[in-house]
Amino acid sequence: MMHRRNLKLNIFIISFFALISMFCITNIYAYGENSNEIFSEEKIYYNGTIEDDFSDDKIIIVLSKEETNKYKDYTLADFPEVDGKSIVDLSANTVELVKNNELSDKNNSLIDFNEFNRILSIELNTKSKENVLKSIKELEKRDEILSAEPSVSAQLLKTPNDSKLSEQWGLNHIKTYDAWNIAQNANQVMVGVLDSGIDSQHPDLLNNIYKRGIHNTYTTLHRDFTDGSESGIPILEPIDPNGHGTHVAGIIGAQGNNNQGISGICWNVKLVSLRVADEGGYVETLWLINAINYAGSVNIPILNCSLGGDFISPALEEAIQSYRGLLVCAAGNSGDNIDNTPLYPASYDYDNILTVGAIDSNDKRSKWDGFNNLWGLLGDIASNYGETSVDIYAPGTNILSTIPDNKYKENSGTSMATPFVTGAAALLLATNSNLTTLELKNAIINGADSITIKIPGNGCSGDKNQDVLKLNISNSIRLVAFKTNDSGDTIIGTWFNEKDNINIPTNINNVSITRIDDGAFKNYTNLISIIIPNSVTHIGLSSFEGCTSLTNVALSSNLIFIEPSAFKNCASLSSITIPNSVQYIDSSAFEGCSYLQSVSLSNHLVAIGSSAFKGCASLSSIIIPNTVTNIDTSAFEGCSYLQSVILSNHLYAIGTSAFKGCSSLGNI
């Protein structure tokens, strides 16, 4: 069932004139997949005027959930009320995946199918803004069309440059150097840059432009959406005719430690160019929708969106709701309170959006070349703000980064602040690839520092204070990161405090995790559940000893070694399944697991070590596989509730006191 949220505005444009489009909303009712189930969706009517800045030959429509679930192939004949030249399904890739059951794991897809509605684009034969508005009104008469709208324009967020203050002052200001003590690279993390492109030949970006092993037009993920096509034009070597996207990309991932230029937040990362802006920096809604839908379909987990507009677009909102990754958005540069004057996508209130304002090196709200605010009566060229709309602030004044033609330049604006947060998100995800989008967002917010900025007061009251959050990458990464050894393949602990549930990643910083080290989680008394990836072959000495609240353990299916005292005194552990790859359970491995009631042993187990299950008082029965040749001293001593034991036919030796104190056990 889907209940559409109230839809407000689209992307925001820096221009001399603010063009505002209005929508009216009403409810319609439809049947769900169960014919007895009735649900409502909001139908949104476009009330824009010919004065608005929109394409003169394109209409974007959103279909109802009921219509979406038909998986129909649409042609112009399905929309006879308009004189159409062509029709494109902007969500065709997703529809095909669902219709053909090609998604093996919908839960892990970056498309949210509960929020998914099909979006179509119709190109008209006659270029005329009047014709666009007339056609929209005709389409709105149909119940299965939730909204119809023109494709409007936006612009990249820029402000005039100030004089150069210092090279990359922002890195230290947000504790990047401290974070680099934990991780510097995000080799396996894809970051999509929704912008004017990226100069892929810049020497500081060249090695971080994502290329698959076989690099051709069929495998490349880089796309140019400015032609309006749903999947974009495949690009082998991205370019940037504007320069804005290259500057943004450098802040995220200019190659670090390469003896030239600058360093991005991530020394290495997989930058994906998703070009949605033309040479002049203008963006059409259609292009942005296509890019976001595409990013979801190819599972790009983080998108940098240093652009915005003040136009309503239900279709854009649908695309954002459907995308399950993190969309990091610029708050804008007009000095406004975007709680009261919403700008989009920054002002959308969704869990997957993180909106970024700009500060200077003194933790003041960034202001650029222009005039100062006079008692709140006049505007200024400054970072937008908003108590609820702006989540976090990052450096946005005089930021040095890459520009085309192998050059570097300082630019200012929330466009520059946003990629600091995007880069931080990529670095965090590299250290813990199992983070959900919401967990990733929360880690960035919860790790932030509190600062106080000045915002305009009311009337003649002058400025007033507002408490806000400033990005602190070091704090944030310590909320989610695992500690590893020098080679990176062994978990030796965590940077974060004890958590209830831990899901260990298969890879950290592009290195496969194969071992849980000695004492890695020892005495994590708050730990309730642990998932150990299938890459792990070795659980070390006392790895989980004393985890007294641990109740659920999912062991690696490729586990070979469980060393002494690995789960000793895990008093709440009730059941355990030993994978078939395990040949030896070492001494005291599960000693003192007093609540352990069920044990499924490996079919390839050879030996059970001394005191392996000593004191497991709740264990009632055990089947010893025929592969076991040795049960060592005190292996099951004190298992007072043990009533049934089936021994291996190939058992060679049973150690002293192996079943001592098993008072409920008869003959074996």
Catalytic positions are 195, 244, 415
Instruction: Label residues 510-526 b or e (16+ Cβ within 10 Å = b).
Output: ebebbbbbbbbbbebee
Contacts of 68 (CB under 8 A, 6+ apart): 116, 117, 118
Which amino acid, residue 196?
A: S
Which amino acid, residue 296?
A: G
CB 584 within 8 A of CB 607: yes
Cα dihedral 265, 266, 267, 269 sign: negative
Both structure tokens of 154: 């936006």
Which amino acid, residue 435?
A: L
Q: How far apart are the first and last CA of the chain?
A: 57
Q: Which residue, among 310, 418, 309, has the nearest Cα to 355 in the 3D structure?
A: 418
Burial class from Cβ neighbours inside 10 Å (0-12, 13-18, 19+) for residue 620 reads middle
State whether residue 473 is helix, strand or coil. helix
CB 434 within 8 A of CB 389: no
Which amino acid, residue 558?
A: N
Distance CA 508, CA 430 (A): 6
Contacts of 108 (CB under 8 A, 6+ apart): none
Burial class from Cβ neighbours inside 10 Å (0-12, 13-18, 19+) for residue 449 reads middle
Q: Which residue, among 642, 651, 640, has the nearest Cα to 605 in the 3D structure?
A: 651
Q: φ and ψ at 218, to 5 degrees?
A: -85, -25
Burial class from Cβ neighbours inside 10 Å (0-12, 13-18, 19+) for residue 453 reads buried
Distance CA 543, CA 308 (A): 49
The distance between the two most distant Cα atoms of the chain, rounded to a whole number of Å, is: 94
Half-sphere exposure of 483 (CA within 13 A, CB side): 11
Cα dist from 556 to 498, 569, 576, whole Å: 22, 21, 12
Quick one: which H or E segment has residue 145? strand 145-156
Q: Which residue, among 424, 446, 444, 441, has the nearest Cα to 183 in the 3D structure?
A: 424
CB 110 within 8 A of CB 302: no
Burial class from Cβ neighbours inside 10 Å (0-12, 13-18, 19+) for residue 63 reads buried
Distance CA 386, CA 332 (A): 11
Both structure tokens of 243: 């320069």
Which amino acid, residue 420?
A: F
Both structure tokens of 500: 């209830």
Distance CA 578, CA 600 (A): 6
